[in-house]
């Protein structure tokens, strides 16, 4: 529910008592609108806000999906220091067996948020901040933003009572900074649910230009990506960042328990496949026709070369009913084989 008690003013960032040092808080900044509003609300209450932005192998801020790719600009607009923390191998390790399960895609939201808050907590302790702020809105996301999850995430990250969610704070239990009088609870929000009407209204009044679209860019919530990620984690004991980079491109085929084929969908993906290839991977391309670069990865890659060649040919401009040459490249070695395109019903069953 929108609360008319919000005091909307252009923030006089320099104006809060210059005699008195401002108390510090750390904000988790995603680049989305809600976290920007949370920062503004804390600045309005006179805090010196530092932001922490978290990158993971599934969101590097540069994918152009709209979540955080402008994050540095957003931080500058908000006049906050920005610390970026990369959760790489430890994030993959968590994803092998998330303690609190996964959502509708392959998204381990409770464990993911816990790791993000742990990173923010570390920064809070380093700079002597009082508490952490996040733009979470009660009931906005099914897995991580209902009241029990918010409480669980606080507990798991060792931050009980120390996370303030300004947008929904008055619908949530009182936090330590509220009890201690550091924050005025009456100026906090009562927003609930998925509608963005209140936030857009606040954005306008806070002078946040071009508020980003809702939804964010977490690949793990996307159903198709989730299926590919699940397949990877089921078949590879220790997936690497390189494996995850490969998940982001191409058409994927599971050829056996230990081997997969990825077929590029366009020129950029073909280049990426070549860049991602490791010494044991096999690259395939139609020799005389425009078409994809494919990559065969896994223990039995060599055994699948012929079938993979016929799939690669299928996605090329080569005529479908005659033998054509496919180049097989393995490191510095290459050879040619002659194959026909495979029939659709013969390869579709391997599609992930």
Q: In the structure encoding, which two tokens stand for residue 96, read together?
A: 């092998």
**Closer residue to ligand SF4, CB minimum distance, 107 or 293:** 107
Per-position x/- string for 143-172, each x denoting binding to ligand SF4 as judged by CB under 6 A, each - no binding: -x----------------------------
Query: And the tokens for 155?
Result: 């507990």
| Tally of CA atoms within 13 A in the half-sphere of 264 that contains its CB | 23
Member of 83, 113, 165, 228 binding ligand SF4 (CB under 6 A): 113
Which of the stretches 44-52, 80-88, 103-111, 181-189 binds ligand SF4 when contact is defined by CB under 6 A? 103-111
294 binds ligand SF4 (CB under 6 A): no
Closest contact distance (angstroms) between CB of 109 and ligand SF4 is: 3
**Pairwise CA distance, residues 249 & 239, whole Å:** 16
Pairing relationship of beta strands 132-133 and 24-28 according to DSSP bridges: parallel
| Binding-site string for ligand SF4 from residue 203 to residue 232, where x marks contact by CB under 6 A and - marks none | ---------------x-xx-----------
Token pair of 206, please?
Answer: 């806070």
- CB of residue 214 vs ligand SF4: minimum separation in angstroms? 12
Please say whether the beta carbons of 47 and 23 come within 8 A: yes
By CB under 6 A, residue 37 contacts ligand SF4: no
DSSP code per residue over 126-151:
HHT-S-EE----BTSSTTTSSHHHHH
163-200 per-residue burial string, b: 16 or more CB within 10 A, e: under 16: bbbbbbbbbbeebbbbeeebbeeebbbbbbeeebebbe
CB of 8 to ligand SF4, least distance (A): 28
Place of tokens 């508020």: 211
How far, in Å, CA of 339 to CA of 337, rounded? 6
For ligand SF4, which stretch binds (CB under 6 A), given 69-77, 101-109, 186-194, 224-232? 101-109
Q: Is 45 in the site for ligand SF4 (CB under 6 A)?
A: no
Stretch that binds ligand SF4, among 77-85, 106-114, 240-248, 280-288 (CB under 6 A): 106-114
Residues found near ligand SF4 in the complex (CB under 6 A): 107-109, 112-113, 144, 218, 220-221
């Amino acid at each position: 529910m929108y609360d008319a008690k919000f005091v909307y003013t252009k923030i006089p960032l320099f104006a809060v008592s210059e005699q008195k040092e401002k108390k510090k808080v750390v904000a988790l900044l995603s680049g989305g609108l809600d976290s920007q509003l949370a920062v503004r609300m804390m600045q309005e209450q006179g805090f010196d806000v530092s932001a922490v932005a978290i990158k993971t192998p599934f969101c590097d801020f540069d994918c152009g999906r709209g979540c955080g790719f402008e994050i540095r600009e957003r931080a500058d607009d908000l006049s906050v220091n920005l610390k970026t923390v990369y959760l790489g191998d430890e994030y993959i390790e968590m994803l092998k067996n998330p303690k609190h399960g996964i959502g509708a895609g392959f998204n381990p939201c409770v464990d993911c948020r816990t790791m993000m808050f742990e990173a923010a907590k570390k920064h809070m302790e380093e700079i002597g901040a009082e508490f952490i702020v996040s733009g979470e809105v009660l009931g906005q996301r099914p897995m991580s933003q209902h009241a029990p999850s918010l409480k669980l995430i606080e507990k798991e990250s060792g931050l009980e009572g120390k996370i303030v969610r300004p947008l929904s704070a008055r619908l949530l239990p009182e936090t330590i900074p509220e009890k201690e009088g550091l924050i005025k609870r009456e100026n906090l929000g009562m927003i609930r649910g998925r509608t963005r009407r209140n936030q857009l209204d606040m954005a306008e009044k806070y002078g946040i230009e071009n508020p980003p679209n809702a939804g964010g860019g977490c690949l793990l919530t996307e159903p198709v990506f989730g299926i590919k990620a699940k397949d990877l984690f089921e078949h590879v004991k220790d997936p690497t960042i390189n494996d995850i980079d490969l998940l982001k491109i191409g058409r994927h085929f599971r050829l056996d328990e230990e081997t997969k084929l990825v077929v590029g969908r366009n020129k950029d993906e073909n280049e990426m496949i070549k860049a991602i290839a490791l010494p044991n991977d096999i690259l395939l391309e139609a020799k005389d026709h425009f078409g994809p670069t494919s990559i065969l990865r896994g223990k039995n890659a060599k055994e699948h070369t012929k079938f993979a060649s016929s799939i690669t040919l299928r996605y090329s401009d080569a005529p479908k009913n005659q033998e054509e040459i496919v180049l097989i490249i393995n490191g510095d070695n290459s050879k040619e084989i002659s194959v026909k395109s495979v029939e659709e019903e013969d390869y579709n069953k391997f599609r992930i």
